[in-house]
Structure 1
Amino acid sequence: MTIQEELEDLIKNEVLVEIEDYIDELFEIIAAKKDDENTKEELKQVQEMKKDFEEMLADLIHGDIDDEECREIIEEIHEMRKEDLED
Structure 2
Amino acid sequence: MTIQEELENLIKNEVLIEIEDYIDELFEIIAAKKDDDNIKEELKQIQEMKKDFEEMLVDLTHGDIDDEECKEIIDEINEMRKEDLED
TM-score, normalised by the number of residues in structure 1: 0.99
CA distances 1:5-60 after superposition (whole Å, capped 9, x unpaired) = 00000000000000000000000000000111200000000000000000011001
Alignment partner, residue 73 of structure 1: 73
Moved over 4 A (4+): none
Secondary structure at the residue paired with 1:52? helix
Alignment partner, residue 39 of structure 1: 39
Q: CA RMSD in A?
A: 0.4
- Unaligned stretches of 5+ residues in structure 1: none
Aligned length: 87
State how far apart, in whole Å, the 1-side matches of 2:41 and 2:23 are. Answer: 12
Q: Give, as a single letter, the amino acid of the residue that structure 1 aligns with 2:58.
A: A
State how far apart, in whole Å, the 1-side matches of 2:25 and 2:32 are. Answer: 11
- Unaligned stretches of 5+ residues in structure 2: none
Secondary structure at the residue paired with 1:65? coil
TM-score, normalised by the number of residues in structure 2: 0.99
What is the identity percentage for the equivalent residue pairs of Structure 1 and Structure 2? Answer: 89
